[in-house]
Chain A
Amino acid sequence: MIQRTAWVSALKALPTNNLLSLTTKLSEDWTLRPKSVSQSGLGMMKLKDSAFNETFYLGEFPLAFAWLEVTTPDGHKAEGAAQVMDDRVEVAEALALCDAVLSAQLPGWEQVYNMVEQGVAINEKANRERKMILARTRVDFSLLDNVGDENAEA
């Protein structure tokens, strides 16, 4: 089973429409109750500079959050939550619903897990491509030692 911490990033890698249509279909006759008010807005990325160790804000990024409780017609209850870099509350809610479905293995969890596996495959492919790009652009400074300093006096 893929780790729970990887579920959101895997599902986020898939087309949003696929995710929304699946969660809408799954939750047709379920009762969904918010545990907290779903929100979207801007997060501030706070970093410390290496020279003076002072805090500064690098920039803003979109952030959406949802936490909900699902009750199925047969009385099963589950909670799910998601915090995602996106400006759409409905995406965070869909991801929170998937989190609940997978964690409690509610009816239809296999479909969600199948999507997680697809998402993991997409993320792994992207990571491999990034690594290849990084490898191609790597500069080998050790070669400079062989060249020596041309301006140095003999």
Chain B
Amino acid sequence: MLKLDPIWQPDIQQANFRLLLDAMAYPGRCFTLHTVPKEGHITLSVLATLLDAEVTFSDPYSLLRTDDWPMLQAKSTSADKADYVLCDASQLPKFSPKLGTLPDPERSATLILMVNNLGQGEQTLKLSGPGIKDTESLSIDGLNAEWLAKRNDWVCSFPLGVDMILVDEQHVAALPRTTKVEVE
């Protein structure tokens, strides 16, 4: 009876989850999202795939509509305690995400950063580390450089750190904590 946007359908979410796994396995590589939301924020495709009632979520830049929250089902909390944080990459970081603990490094935050464009832009990152043969280049438009400076601090005590997922209107790319990032 109810017609759901495809981003809420299990088959699309499973396909997008596979895509996010690939993005994490190949840092800096751009992948095209299978479906984008018909209405609402573009990152909803990624959020609908990752969030459920078992995780905590924060939207410190107020990018989502009030109506999106019950659909995502995640519990709301502050950005420094959340499992997932939605960020406007064009603005300055204004919180310190959780970095996990040595016994449980996986209890850290995953940051979903909304950028203007992935694959092209004035900023080019040179990436190296696990999942990258030699080096990988990633051009981005709309990423405040302060995010990269903060990221260097957050990931310097491996295995503690944060994982980043960059999203534009159609693409997604990941920067796991193991990736070394240099600005070209």
**Interface positions of A (Cβ within 8 A of B):** 23-24, 27, 32-38, 66-68, 90, 93-94, 97
Query: How far is it, in angstroms, between the C-alpha of A32 and the C-alpha of B1 when the chains are bound?
Result: 8
Q: How many residues of chain B have a CB within 8 Å of chain A? A: 9
Please tell me if the beta carbons of B2 and A34 are within 8 angstroms of each other in the complex. yes
Q: Which residues of B contact A24 (CB under 8 A)?
A: 1
Kindly report which residue of chain B lies nearest to residue A67, judged by CB atoms: B70
What's the least CB distance linking B52 to chain A, in Å?
10
How many residue pairs between the two chains, A and B, have CB atoms under 8 Å in the bound complex? 30
Please tell me if the beta carbons of B1 and A27 are within 8 angstroms of each other in the complex. yes
**Interface positions of B (Cβ within 8 A of A):** 1-4, 8, 67, 70-71, 73
Please tell me if the beta carbons of A37 and B1 are within 8 angstroms of each other in the complex. no
Please tell me if the beta carbons of A37 and B4 are within 8 angstroms of each other in the complex. yes
Kindly report which residue of chain A lies nearest to residue B3, judged by CB atoms: A32
Query: How far is it, in angstroms, between the C-alpha of A28 and the C-alpha of B1 when the chains are bound?
Result: 10
Q: What are 18 residue pairs bridging A and B, where the CB atoms are less than 8 Å apart in the complex?
A: A23-B1, A24-B1, A27-B1, A32-B2, A32-B3, A34-B2, A34-B4, A34-B71, A35-B67, A36-B70, A37-B8, A37-B71, A37-B73, A38-B2, A67-B70, A90-B1, A94-B1, A97-B1
Q: Which residues of A contact B73 (CB under 8 A)?
A: 36-37
What's the least CB distance linking A62 to chain B, in Å?
18
Kindly report which residue of chain B lies nearest to residue A93, judged by CB atoms: B1
Please tell me if the beta carbons of B2 and A68 are within 8 angstroms of each other in the complex. yes
Q: Which residues of A contact B8 (CB under 8 A)?
A: 34, 37
Query: How far is it, in angstroms, between the C-alpha of A131 and the C-alpha of B50 when the chains are bound?
Result: 49
Q: Which residues of B contact A23 (CB under 8 A)?
A: 1
